[in-house]
Amino acid sequence: MKCRYIFAGFITWVLRDLLHYRRDVVMTNLARSFPERRYGELRQICDDFYRNMGDTVAEALWFGRVSSKRLHRERLVEIEDISPLQEIRAKNPNGCIMLDSHCFNWELMGGFKYYYYRDDIPFTLTEHDVLNVYKRLRSKFFDRVFRRNRLHHIDDLAAYDGYLEESEVVRHIITHRGEGRIYDFKSDQAPGKAASIDIGEFMHQPTRTLYGGVYLARKYHMSVVYYHVDHDRRGHYTWRFSVMCEDAATRTPEDLMREYYDRLQADIERNPSNYLWTHKRWK
């Protein structure tokens, strides 16, 4: 663990001090998102962000090499309470859309079943129940690298169908309807030329957003859950899940995405350096 964070410090130095990687983007995003904060405060958030980014890279590389037993023993990630996910899954066999974000460290989802340590509430989910929806990278080489790293802890990779490119999701939902599967969507990306909706302000800035996840949830009467990531301290993350609705057909996409961004903003304001500020979210 100590060696990992020594390497993380080197990555931080390279990105922040040597390359100044997107530092102008980071400072612009921070200044617009926290207009009430002084420059010195923004500078500190920026420095802490790059430190977290270095840790994320080092942790992701470690994650793709370490054994499942050691991953569990190190308690890098801890699920606070799995009952919201398990209960909503029992109530709605149509499945669930889990709205995720780019809070650090999103690269660790593949170890989901090793992050639970409580004895009072049994963990009943399997690795086939929680599926990760991703956008294929332009580089086939790096797409394969990330896939191999993210799925390192899957026991039977040949039989695993839980790593889904966006275009595969609809077919998978239809095929496995009634099985209560949980689909993890990173939902805070800039929409670009894709279909989008206006949800008002997010972090004090006019924001349009993708809504594919909640659209599918409405169409197929699925539940919607928000996925919190708390970075408590270096080397430890806590995951929490809160139900937004049991049947998305009772809500509008605008309403659901507005609630999602309200929850995400509260998480970011609580820990500003834990968000991916290099992302050009507002274009």
pLDDT for 274 equals: 97
> What are φ and ψ of residue 147, in 5° steps?
-60, -45
> pLDDT tens digits, residue range 68-86?
999 999 999 999 999 999 9
pLDDT for 81 equals: 94
**Residue 14 in tokens:** 């390279």
Low-confidence stretches of the chain (pLDDT < 50) are none
- Spatial neighbors of 159 by CB under 8 A, at least 6 apart, are none
- Spatial neighbors of 253 by CB under 8 A, at least 6 apart, are 197, 211, 214, 215, 218
**Residue 219 in tokens:** 């169409």
Burial class (CB in 10 A: 0-12, 13-18, 19+), 201: exposed
> What are φ and ψ of residue 120, in 5° steps?
-75, -25
Interatomic CA distance for residues 97 and 88, integer angstroms:
11
Instruction: Concatenate the DSSP letters of all residues of 31-62 into one string.
Output: HHH-TTS-HHHHHHHHHHHHHHHHHHHHHHHH
**Cross-strand pairs, 165:** 134
pLDDT for 194 equals: 76
pTM of the model: 0.94
